[in-house]
Amino acid sequence: MELVKITAENADDFTEHIDADVRCNIGRSFFKGIGALGDNYAPLGAVVYEILNYDSEADTKCRIHSFMAADDDTAKALMEEYSNAIAEDGAIESLYETGDENLDRIFSSYGFTSKKRESPEIVVTVGELQKVAAMAKGKNMPEYIQSMTDVSLLQYRSFLKNCLIKGRFGLLEDLGYLPLAWFEREISSCSIADEKLDGVLLIRRLPSQTLVPCLFTAFGIDYQKNLVIIMLRSAQKVVEMYPEETRVVIRRHSPGVKQLTDKFFAGKKGAEVFVGRRAEG
Amino acid sequence: MFDISQSMIVDVDINLAAALLMVGVWIMTLRRRSTGEKADSVFLYVIVAALIETVAGLAVEFFEGPVGHGPYALAVILETILEYSITTELFFLLLYVFLTMHDSMDYLKRRMKFYMIPFVILTVVTIVNMFTGIIWYYDENLVYNETILYFFYDVIRYTYLVIAIYQYANYKKQNGVRFFSMWTFMIPIMWGTSLEWITDCAGFTLGNAIAVAMLFVMSSQKVGFTDEKSGFYNIHYLNMLRENIKEGKYEPSLVINYKLPKGKDLSGFFNELRGILPDECDTIKIDDTNFVTVIYGSTRGLMNMLSDDIQMIAEALNMDIKYNYAIKKKEESPVEFFEDAVGVK
């Protein structure tokens, strides 16, 4: 068995072992993958993980996003290689979140401890977003709320720097490394003051067509009001442009986002998942 | 021509002192170089309104009662100018505080309608009062009297001051405020108002003039710490910053040192650099070719972006710009990090 680094060039060799929505992240600055190859270089399994808190004063951690192995030997080899790789990055803890009980059992056998709890992610459909979009109907969208298609690279980069300095990364550990084209610009929205961005909702479209709001933040005197208008504009655009059954995955990573989702999608709960961790080093 | 009472002498003296103070501040503001901030342009209106207020306050002393000087119309016009200049000053003071905090014309424009409503109402009421005396009036002896509506008139215009204080407090809670303190302005105002309540002399005018002079002193501090050529801070600011870091007011997390080429026009670089740096940072001129940027807050991924941008500027301007940077380590103290990174002890 041979273990290889998974890169943007060879990621497509592992289509059976890594979900397309995870695979599309390979190549990002802090996303790494290890693949196991058998005879004739046939893929046997893969693990994809993300390094968290890299390049910061906080402790480095790793989050496993995908793990699949054809057999126990492959799983063991992948886990060993994973442990060695993250030790080099100085990670002190590994984390995962999965709804798959079998996968949780595999992780447990490698020293992870897990708890079953409600996932911070909720899944809504574009159909369900219609009632949010309806709130904006008949109201004039202020001129300073715009689509990200109208935003220059300089404006985008300036805003990102302000986000980084304020420690607002949304779901994106590598926010400072991502190009504007990585997001779905038409449905992503922003607010502008003095030709500078002061609020954004950046949405990513995954290969499965699932939409993921990745960064939702605003600064300045009107930030609370702008956040709501930005969200309404994006909801309107999503409803206009995507079929009703399109999934939107919202990760409630902050109290602010949780408050909004509780308000707009009352009663909506995240799936039951296993949240596991293991101390490293 | 005039009956000169003891209280009139006191009021004339106080108003004269206030007027002279305002003339001095006005001249110094005109002579002072601008920091380029949007609040600077509004500050002049605050001073002019305060100056008109003191001059009108001084002049009206010679035309109003208690035993009647007149002419009546002139006394009414001067008192109207005095009252209206207080309203105007408070209005511009709010705009000044707003722009000092936010430095954004767009934010101001979005609020302007709301801010203008009381101003328009007060303007109309002031004009109507000249002919009707519904707010204040002079009796047959040219003695100044206020009606019950004057209280509401005051409440409306002082709302500007309350909003300014609220905005300042709100902003200060979330961001650091440099070279400005609302209390430095408020204390003389409160002192003047109390003096007027207790002694019935023109204490408010003097307190207000001192308050505006204090605003001038605070805004001049920034000019003194700014390098004229580059528009960035000068070496004096570096020393003050070091003291502030020692006192724990600021915690630098990233320092970038630039070495710029000698004998080149650097104005293009300064403009471009200003465009790429994040909002909350200080850039300081050490000498003609050495500059340093101090960044506070999180630095994750920031240097990756800034390195690209600095290189892009250097290529675009065809300039040999050397730079290095230091990121604060967990175990380093802020002072130790700052002194090592900037190279000062």
Q: Which domains does chain B have, with CATH numbers?
A: 6-224 (1.20.1070.10), 235-342 (3.30.70.270)
Partner-chain contact A158 B298, CB within 8 Å: no
Reported confidence tier of residue B3, pLDDT bands at 50, 70, 90: low
Q: What is the pLDDT of residue A140?
A: 84
The three state secondary structure string of B5-70 is CHHHHHHHHHHHHHHHHHHHHHHHHHHCCCCCCHHHHHHHHHHHHHHHHHHHHHHHHCCCCCCCCC
What ranges in chain A are assigned the alpha helix state H? 20-23, 72-88, 101-109, 126-134, 153-165, 223-241, 255-264
ipTM, 2 decimals?
A: 0.83
Nearest partner of A201 among A148, A138, A131, judged by Cα: A148
Partner-chain contact A161 B280, CB within 8 Å: no
Q: In CATH, which of 3.30.1360, 1.10.3470, 3.40.630, 3.30.420 is domain A121-251? A: 3.40.630
Which residues of chain A lie closer than 8 angstroms to B302, CB-CB? 161, 164-165, 176
Instruction: Report the percent of chain B where pLDDT is more than 70.
Output: 97
Q: Which residue of A has its CA nearest to B101?
A: A221
Reported confidence tier of residue B160, pLDDT bands at 50, 70, 90: very high
A167 touches chain B (CB under 8 A): yes
pLDDT < 70: residue spans in chain A: none
B110 touches chain A (CB under 8 A): yes
A176 touches chain B (CB under 8 A): yes
pLDDT tens, position by position, B173-215: 877 778 888 888 899 999 999 998 898 888 899 999 999 999 9
B146 touches chain A (CB under 8 A): no
Which residues of chain A lie closer than 8 angstroms to B276, CB-CB? 157-158, 161
Shortest distance between the Cα of A18 and any Cα of chain B, in A, equals 27
Q: Give the Cα separation of B279 and A187 in Å (integer).
A: 27
Q: What is the pLDDT of residue B345?
A: 65
Structure token digits, residue A229: 């208008």
pLDDT tens, position by position, A11-47: 999 999 999 999 999 999 899 999 999 988 899 999 9
A169 touches chain B (CB under 8 A): yes
Q: Which residue of A has its CA nearest to B273?
A: A158
Q: Which residue of B has its CA nearest to A154?
A: B276
B108 touches chain A (CB under 8 A): no
Q: Give the Cα separation of B264 and A42 in Å (integer).
A: 61
Which residues of chain A lie closer than 8 angstroms to B304, CB-CB? 176-177
Residue with tokens 């009796």: B139
Partner-chain contact B107 A57, CB within 8 Å: no
Which residues of chain B lie closer than 8 angstroms to A166, CB-CB? 280, 297-298
B287 touches chain A (CB under 8 A): no
Taking 60 as the threshold, does the pLDDT of residue B309 lie above it? yes
A153 touches chain B (CB under 8 A): no
| Nearest residue, CB atoms, A177 vs list B102, B104, B301 | B301
B305 touches chain A (CB under 8 A): yes
Reported confidence tier of residue B55, pLDDT bands at 50, 70, 90: very high
A160 touches chain B (CB under 8 A): yes
Residues A54, A89 contacting (CB under 8 angstroms): yes
Phi, psi of A149 (to 5 degrees): -70, -25
A165 touches chain B (CB under 8 A): yes
pLDDT tens, position by position, A166-181: 989 899 989 999 999 9
SS3 A62: strand
- Residues shown for chain A: 281
Q: How far is CA B139 from the centre of its chain?
A: 39
Taking 50 as the threshold, does the pLDDT of residue B140 lie above it? yes
- Best of B298, B310, B325 to substitute, by most chain A Cβ atoms within 10 angstroms, is B298
B106 touches chain A (CB under 8 A): yes
Nearest partner of A191 among B92, B10, B107, judged by Cα: B107
B306 touches chain A (CB under 8 A): yes
Shortest distance between the Cα of A228 and any Cα of chain B, in A, equals 17
Partner-chain contact B107 A193, CB within 8 Å: yes
Taking 90 as the threshold, does the pLDDT of residue B68 lie above it? no
Q: Give the Cα separation of B280 and A219 in Å (integer).
A: 12
Taking 60 as the threshold, does the pLDDT of residue B2 lie above it? no
Q: Give the Cα separation of A123 and A115 in Å (integer).
A: 21
Q: What is the pLDDT of residue B103?
A: 87
Taking 80 as the threshold, does the pLDDT of residue B344 lie above it? no
What ranges in chain B are assigned the alpha helix state H? 6-31, 38-61, 72-102, 105-132, 149-174, 182-199, 203-224, 235-246, 267-276, 302-317, 334-342
For chain A, domain boundaries = 2-119+274-279, 121-251
Taking 60 as the threshold, does the pLDDT of residue B1 lie above it? no
Q: What is the mean pLDDT of residues B131-152?
A: 92
| Nearest residue, CB atoms, B300 vs list A55, A162, A221 | A55
Residues B160, B118 contacting (CB under 8 angstroms): yes
Partner-chain contact B305 A161, CB within 8 Å: yes
Instruction: Evaluate whether A2-119+274-279 and A121-251 have a shared fold.
Output: yes
Taking 70 as the threshold, does the pLDDT of residue B97 lie above it? yes
Domain covering A2-119+274-279 assigned CATH 3.40.640.10 in the classification:
no
Nearest partner of A234 among A268, A192, A200, A205, judged by Cα: A200
Which residues of chain A lie closer than 8 angstroms to B306, CB-CB? 161
Which residues of chain B lie closer than 8 angstroms to A175, CB-CB? 301
> Long-range CB contacts (< 8 A, 24+ apart) of A39-42?
A41/A2, A41/A13
Q: What is the pLDDT of residue B191?
A: 94
Shortest distance between the Cα of B329 and any Cα of chain A, in A, equals 7
Which residues of chain B lie closer than 8 angstroms to A162, CB-CB? 278-280
Structure token digits, residue A95: 């984390």
Q: Give the Cα separation of A64 and B324 in Å (integer).
A: 35
The number of C-beta contacts closer than 8 angstroms across A and B is: 78
Which amino acid does the sequence have at B267? S
Residue with tokens 């300081």: B284
Q: What is the pLDDT of residue A42?
A: 92
Q: Give the Cα separation of A255 and B191 in Å (integer).
A: 44
DSSP letter, residue B194:
H
B333 touches chain A (CB under 8 A): no
